[in-house]
Chain A
Amino acid sequence: MKGVDGQMTGLWTRSTPRSLRIHAHRAAAVATMVALLGILLASGGVAAPAPDTAVIVQGADIVTLEPMFSQSLPDQNAIIHIFETLTRFGDDLTLLPGLAESWRLRDARTWEFRLTPGRRFQNGEPLNAEAVRWTLMRGKEFFEKKLADVQYAYNLLDLDTVEAVDDVTVRIRTKSASPILPLHMAHSQTAPMAPRYTAQTPVNTLERRPIGSGPYRVVEFVPNERVVLEAWSEHPRRPQIRRLLFRPVPEDATRLAELAAGNADIIVNVPPDLIPQVERNRAARVESVPGLRRIFIGLRQDRHLALRDKRVRQAFNYAFDCATMMRNLLAGKGECTGTVANVPDQNPAVKPYPYDQRRAAALLDEAGWRMNPRTNVREQGGRALEMGFDCPRGRYIKDSEICQVIAADLAKIGVKTDLQIFDWSVYVGKSARRGAGFRDIYLLGSGPGFSCQADLALVQKNSGSNRSLFDSARFEEIWDELDLAFDVKKRRDLCHKMQEVIFDESPLIFIWFQTDIYGVSQRLVWKARVDERIRLHDSRFR
């Protein structure tokens, strides 16, 4: 348009009226924008996920696929599709056969597992008793040398020796009696690994290209971006979905947008207040399930005199209006509880404490804490019923809001709290050394122990996770009995009894089993599991 010395040429000249030039500029700008949008639209926009690929959008990156090097949930969700374990948990957490078709107790310290014959790893190596022995001894060695991330699993396993009796029989001997060893065999850190491949492959490669025996094998691992798994055609139970794509998206709103746009089939951690947003989308639905993470308020026994009195602890539970909180704060997506044992060990007779402020007040009166009408705070011998209340923010669903509700409920019965809310990175330091950094009461969550005894260790006197420093003779007596019980029914009865004791003694304010909330595309047939694992072995597209 411009000639020598900037003179306008062609149709657009200096003699062109100014208004016309302005119109031309505007028209050109609009045309450019329309053209850009047109190019985007013409490019076909964003490709929807392939019809044979399920897209799982998690909150964090997958770091490793090597089962012994991982404890994080995003890793585990991929690992459980690549590896199999000797036993596994069903949807209701009952123990089911995995690679082992049966198991039996030989003596108090020895278990024998019989493997399904003829199984192979994805690279053709035989999956036999020797492979199981090799894997467990590798884990034991890592544990003893403090390598990898096996500390938790192999500490519980307490392995002594592992023997391959024949091609399909493995004998596992522990250092002490281990009634729940088959439960530990469902942990992915005990998943058999292909010995030859694993021994010959550098760790970096193992982390990205592991060889398992599961229904999927790894086809792509782009760190921080995506992991793609493909159905393994030689697996005895070939899955119906051909490909699984795992992607990390840390921001809640972005994950929801991916679901709304049809780019995701499963998104994790939908905040309760955003559930209506998912439900408005006809192509998606909400799947929620009470998880295994116990959320509670610990009541320290070693700091405030009042908390040593069972009646005060019970009063705190009666004063907490849990049901209203569930309805208003957590969109009704949770259930209050009166226990800290997970399914399937929960005692059905133990119900949540009812909301009863009058009963709470009566218990405090009975314990000698009388209301001062001037301050609305209870007192005993001139000492006010005041306590420090510590709470994390951003670690559990609505954690700081739950604390505020409980502080308000306690205030109604004359208990004054000094609530302090901390970022999780600070809070976690307070929780160390059996909660040495906590003041009188504190909110905490605890993941599943996958056995009644491990779950109830939260209040066992010698347990590191007993941050309330609770010590009950009644409870310890049953605990010791359980230590030596192998009979399944007897173990369950003892477990139920312990829950009754805990309910009565109230070393905690019971809150809930944190609900796991997922957004799921309507095309996917999938149900949320209580153990937070996203398992797609039996899923399919509609």
Chain B
Amino acid sequence: MLAYLARRLAQMLVVVFLVSAVSFGLLFLSGDPTEIMLGAAADVMTQEQIEEFRRARGFDRSWPVQYLVFIAHAARGDFGDSLRHKRPAFEIVWERVPATVQLGTVAFLISVGVGIPLGVLSATRRGSTVDAGAMLVALLGQSVPSFWLGIVLIMIFGVYLHVLPISGRGSWLHLIMPGLTLAAFPLARNARLTRSSVLEVLHQEYVRTARAKGVSEPGVVYRHALRNALIPVVTIIGLQLGFLLGGSVIVETIFAWPGVGRAIVSAIGDKDFPVVQAGVTMLAVTFVAVNLAVDLLYALLNPRIRYT
């Protein structure tokens, strides 16, 4: 177990290292960072002032040196000051984390709490109208783009029925529409995966044995079949958790949810590279850390899995 943990941690470090390289490279993809950061402000600056800005930010050094300095600072959570907020970039991103975690958790609960029962219902009523309806919902959930779904929900519940707040963060009501929008895709995936997994398990010998013993149908499904059918579903759920907690750029933007995703989008618009770098790195670390945690928890659900 310890060896496995050490190997996974090493892999995690490699991923984070690669992400940091991409994050660092972002700064140079679109040209000279000094020119991009200054933009029109350079119009009223002398060449000396521009060069001073370049030196102050360390852009006059070679790329490898700049990268090493970036890594050394980033490891301490120091991505420099935000150009717009004039505060540490990490702080700007960190203060948005609670909102993103809140939304991600709600979306996660919806996707699991609705998706799995929907999949079970669909599998146990295979070929029925219920099955067709559930799979239609799943198909829509996977194929409808979140920006479209978000706007449709806003029009129905916010504008016409006027029962839900349209944007922003406040009461629990504010969580419903963004939560549903963010949950739509994973919910659909959970439902489809659960359905196929339960259907597969329902044909196993031990299920037949349980039925032969006279166990009620709900008992067969929930106590015998579902526990085994959930193993592949849990793998996917683990990946989803990282994705949902990592924040959704589109959903947060549509619903003006003050999370990490929206911070990154507005930082891109403002050419606020330190915030973009801090945000991207934080999302990557969150994603790999949650995935690792889920993998480790996997053993609790499936004792057959041994870490080597």
Contacts and interface: CB of A to CB of B under 8 A. Distances in A.
Given A257-B158, A437-B31, A432 B36 contact: yes
B308 interface: no
B165 interface: yes
A60 interface: yes
A429 B215 contact: no
Contacts of A187: none
Contact of B219 (A6, A225, A250): A6
B120 interface: no
Interface string A197-213: 00000001000000000
Interface in B137-169: 151, 154-155, 158-159, 161-169
B44 interface: yes
A250 B162 contact: no
Interface string A56-74: 0000110110000100100
Contact of A151 (B44, B159, B262): B44
A45 B31 CA distance: 50
A152 B44 contact: yes
A506 B265 CA distance: 38
A394 to B, nearest CB: 9
A430 B32 CA distance: 9
Interface residues of B, number: 52
Nearest to B174: A46
A5 B167 contact: no
B39 A6 contact: no
Contacts of B254: 251, 253-254
B256 A433 contact: no
Contacts of A276: none
B219 A433 contact: no
A385 to B, nearest CB: 29
A248 interface: yes
Contact of A429 (B32, B86, B265): B32
B40 interface: yes
A60 B44 contact: no
Given A248-B256, A249-B167, A425-B271, A433 B158 contact: no
Nearest to A263: B166
Contacts of B163: 37, 40-41, 43, 45-46
A72 B86 CA distance: 13
B270 to A, nearest CB: 8
B8 interface: no
A425 B30 contact: yes
B43 A464 contact: yes
Contacts of A430: 31
A248 B41 CA distance: 25
A155 B49 CA distance: 13
B281 to A, nearest CB: 19
A250 B158 contact: no
B227 interface: no
A90 interface: no
A224 interface: yes
A350 to B, nearest CB: 25
Interface string B23-49: 000000011101110111111110000
B43 A463 contact: yes
B95 A429 contact: no
Interface in B16-70: 30-32, 34-36, 38-45
B162 A152 contact: no
A45 B256 CA distance: 19
A61 B164 contact: no
B216 A6 contact: yes
Contact of A432 (B39, B162, B215, B218): B39
A250 B266 contact: yes
A465 interface: yes
Contacts of A432: 32, 34-36, 38-39, 42
A194 to B, nearest CB: 21
Contacts of A431: 39-40
B167 A258 contact: yes
A433 B43 CA distance: 7
B255 interface: yes
Contacts of A204: 87
A6 B215 contact: yes
B49 to A, nearest CB: 8
B84 interface: yes
B178 to A, nearest CB: 11
A308 interface: no
A428 interface: yes
B258 A224 contact: yes
A81 B187 CA distance: 46
A149 to B, nearest CB: 8
A223 B93 CA distance: 12
Interface size class on chain A is: 35 or more
A211 B155 CA distance: 40
A256 to B, nearest CB: 9
A428 B155 contact: no
Contacts of B215: 5-6
Given A432-B36, A465-B43, A261 B162 contact: yes
Contacts of A7: 216
A184 B128 CA distance: 74
A429 B273 CA distance: 13
Contacts of B216: 2, 5-7
Given A46-B163, A250-B256, A464 B168 contact: no
Contact of B258 (A69, A148, A225, A257): A225
A238 interface: no
A250 B166 CA distance: 13
A254 B84 contact: no
Residue of A249, A261, A263, A424 ringed by the most chain B CB atoms within 10 A: A261
B44 A155 contact: yes
Contacts of A249: 167-168, 256
Contacts of A307: none
B161 to A, nearest CB: 7
A498 to B, nearest CB: 19
A426 B31 CA distance: 7
A260 interface: yes
Residue of A61, A148, A423 ringed by the most chain B CB atoms within 10 A: A61
A152 B42 CA distance: 10
A425 B96 CA distance: 23
Interface string A401-444: 00000000000000000000001111011111110010000000
A250 B155 CA distance: 17
Nearest to A14: B216
A247 interface: yes
B240 to A, nearest CB: 24
B268 A46 contact: no
A226 interface: yes
A45 B165 CA distance: 8
Nearest to B84: A63
B85 A258 contact: no
Nearest to B164: A46
B36 to A, nearest CB: 4
Contact of A425 (B36, B164, B168): B36
Contact of A40 (B84, B164, B168, B268): B164
12 contacts: A40-B161, A41-B161, A46-B164, A248-B256, A249-B168, A257-B159, A260-B159, A261-B158, A425-B268, A426-B36, A428-B36, A429-B32
Which 8 pairs across A and B sit closest by C-beta, in order of nearness?
Answer: A6-B216, A464-B43, A432-B35, A224-B258, A429-B31, A429-B36, A6-B219, A40-B163
Given A225-B169, A425-B36, 16 more contacts: A5-B215, A61-B266, A64-B85, A69-B86, A250-B262, A254-B254, A257-B158, A260-B159, A261-B162, A263-B165, A263-B166, A425-B30, A428-B40, A431-B39, A432-B36, A463-B43
